Structure 1
């Protein structure tokens, strides 16, 4: 008896199953993630200027076609990777105090910025951003929006608790929160933060925001 037919000749055969899309319509997520990981490793190893689709594919263990099926060029690939950082976001801390929330944020951010891969990638992309407006825009979005989403939630929570004014200047608060640690970790690239630096920074930043 043929599969898909009934034993009653008067009854119609069952509807054939739809075949899953094949070829360009199917993009395996594990392959996509392997390529993304390879991009970070290539950026850290050789930098944007020397990075190539061939090198990315080789590191990811895939063919070049697999990369080009997902991104049109090296530029589009990097823009997608950098932009994705902005939407990942960090959960807003909920310690019950402005200083405590800032301390948690600084701890997480410090570890991320001082990670060996990130510490090599960010300066290189910043240099490339000076020459490429598209990368500059993606970098700005990733660095600003990613931090802004959490920082402003922290300030809003502090306002609800009465720790800061309801009409606190969000832009100044964001600058106070984001500037010092970024300066230390990315701009002057301090090899090791002083002992209790994050505690002191959280305390000083909280007091500064309360004074706005």
Structure 2
């Protein structure tokens, strides 16, 4: 493939992803079809299917191609401040278009499509989990949290309430709510002796 044809293929791929995002925003993911995406991107249906075997995988790539704020944890020496910084960035991102509604639709699709679920986990959830766990590990080593703190459970307790509000109750996730979650979770992980 020449540089020119590779560039043209890349442009076509980007046009298809843009079309998928635009149509999902306009009509909702439930009404998104490969045929409509192909028509909007001015390509053939087979051009779309050559790149993505399903509309779910196309949507996954399209959503994850949106530029997002950096969600890596800072290392300031204050685990609460570092966790709060990333959690507030994440909920601010998910609380507004285009990310919020698109991410909710992507999570919904992941419940029905194992390939989408696996891709979402591998490309977005697992890197975020690993970064948070590494920050908690650092806090444990520095004595900011208990030496026997269960870091996997801590991650679940930090993220669970946010996903619950985002996907189930659809109540707003405010910065004050994040502070309450952090206080509740980290109070049980303090550096003092742990009760069993």
- TM-score bracket for this pair, using the shorter chain length: 0.7 to 0.9
Which of 164, 178, 181 in structure 2 is aligned with 1:201? Answer: 181
Q: What is the root-mean-square deviation of aligned Cα atoms in Å?
A: 3.3
What's the TM-score, normalizing by structure 1? 0.69
Q: Report the equivalent of 2:161.
A: 180
Q: 1:97 Cα deviation (Å)?
A: 0.7
Unaligned runs of 5+ in 2: none
Q: Which has the higher contact order (CA 8 A, sep 6+)?
A: 1
**Cα deviation digits, residues 131-175 of structure 1 (max 9, x gap):** 333233334445631430221122022123211234431211111
Q: Report the equivalent of 1:121.
A: 102
SS of 1:210's equivalent?
A: coil
Question: 1:70 and 2:51 equivalent?
Answer: yes
Q: Report the equivalent of 1:11.
A: none
- Bigger Rg, which one: 1
Measured in 2, the distance between the counterparts of 1:69 and 1:27 equals 15
SS of 2:189's equivalent?
A: helix
Q: Report the equivalent of 1:43.
A: 24
**Cα deviation digits, residues 20-51 of structure 1 (max 9, x gap):** 3665x555434433332332333333344421
User: Which has the larger share of helix?
Assistant: 2
Unaligned runs of 5+ in 1: 1-18
1:32–1:184 Cα change, 3 Å:
same
Measured in 2, the distance between the counterparts of 1:71 and 1:27 equals 17
**Cα deviation digits, residues 103-130 of structure 1 (max 9, x gap):** 1011111012212333323343344334
What's the TM-score, normalizing by structure 2? 0.74
Q: Report the equivalent of 1:98.
A: 79
Which of 135, 138, 146 in structure 1 is aligned with 2:119? Answer: 138
Measured in 2, the distance between the counterparts of 1:77 and 1:193 equals 29
1:180–1:130 Cα change, 3 Å:
closer
Give the aligned length. Answer: 189
Contact residue 113 and residue 186 of structure 1 kept, 8 A: no
Question: 1:159 and 2:140 equivalent?
Answer: yes
Q: 1:99 Cα deviation (Å)?
A: 0.6
